[in-house]
Amino acid sequence: MPEGHTIHRQVVDQAPLLVGRAISVSSPGGRWAHVAAAVDGRVLRTLEAHGKHLFYVFDHRRVLHVHLGLAGRLRHHGPAAGPTRPDPPRRDTALRLETPELTVDLSTPRTCEVIDAVTQGRVIARLGPDPIAADDDRDLAGRLATYRGPVGTALLDQAVIAGIGNVYRAEILFLCGIHPERPASSLSPSECDVLWATTSRLLRAGVDDGGRIITVDRREAAADRRRTYVYGRRRCARCGSVIRRWDVGGRTAWACESCQPAWTGPGWTGPGWTGPAPTGSGELSP
């Protein structure tokens, strides 16, 4: 599914052509006609992202709230008016947003609703800080200190950090040298600082890279076109060790156990662990 960097990239790409303009909004298949009717013809005041949530803020404080989930997509087309008209909407198109400069098709979203500004604030309040937008970590160390479960699960909990998905989870933990099964509560404040800084750096780079995920050093990426150290790989791109794959937090974890030694200290959550289930209060990344 799209991770937080792709949603922020949508803001970068769409906002210059949509903000300040009256937007024609339709539901080609009719299923989301009530949503389209609520904002059709209104002026878009701003376009905002928080984690994996996208908010089109229209005049009169009407907010189109979109979460793509696993299958959702946003497709951009050429001008709605001009020599090249946009392609006809696909069968799975939930909404079409049009201005003379840009047409955007939203397909198969997990969430597509019109809310008010107060409800938007409540949605954001349920989420952790966004490492792309936030200036600080809003006490990441404090949240991890009380999290009963492995750090590999905590990073997918959107109430802990908003925007991390499975690819970035694997790469962030690798670059920090942290095993996915290590208890989140065992991380020191300094380790949390490094974890936050690494997360922020990688996701912001993803926005700058046009929504692509490239976590390896750019010189290494240029040499052999690899983009990740452990995710999707059979061997570690740094040391050559065989990558381990297994389930952590309901998603496949990828780790090099040479570069990310298994945790055997207090609160160990490895094989045979019988401790309590994780207690994160937010949604896990699908």
Specify the DSSP element, H or E, that contains 230: none
From the list 280, 251, 263, 208, the residue with the least C-alpha distance to 8 is: 208
- State the DSSP code for 271: T
Specify the DSSP element, H or E, that contains 60: none
Q: How many other C-beta atoms can be found within 10 angstroms of the C-beta atom of residue 59?
A: 11
Q: How many other C-beta atoms can be found within 10 angstroms of the C-beta atom of residue 134?
A: 16
Catalytic residue chosen out of the listed positions 9, 48, 52, 129: 52
Annotated catalytic, 52?
yes
From the list 228, 242, 250, the residue with the least C-alpha distance to 173 is: 228
Q: How many other C-beta atoms can be found within 10 angstroms of the C-beta atom of residue 174?
A: 26
Catalytic residue chosen out of the listed positions 251, 257, 283, 286: 251
Q: What is the largest CA-CA distance in the chain?
A: 66
Annotated catalytic, 191?
no
Contacts of 97 (CB under 8 A, 6+ apart): 18, 23, 24, 25, 56, 103, 104, 105, 106
Catalytic residue chosen out of the listed positions 2, 109, 131, 180: 2
Alpha-carbon gap, residue 131 to 4, rounded angstroms: 9
Annotated catalytic, 257?
no
Annotated catalytic, 181?
no
Q: Which residues are catalytic?
A: 2-3, 52, 251
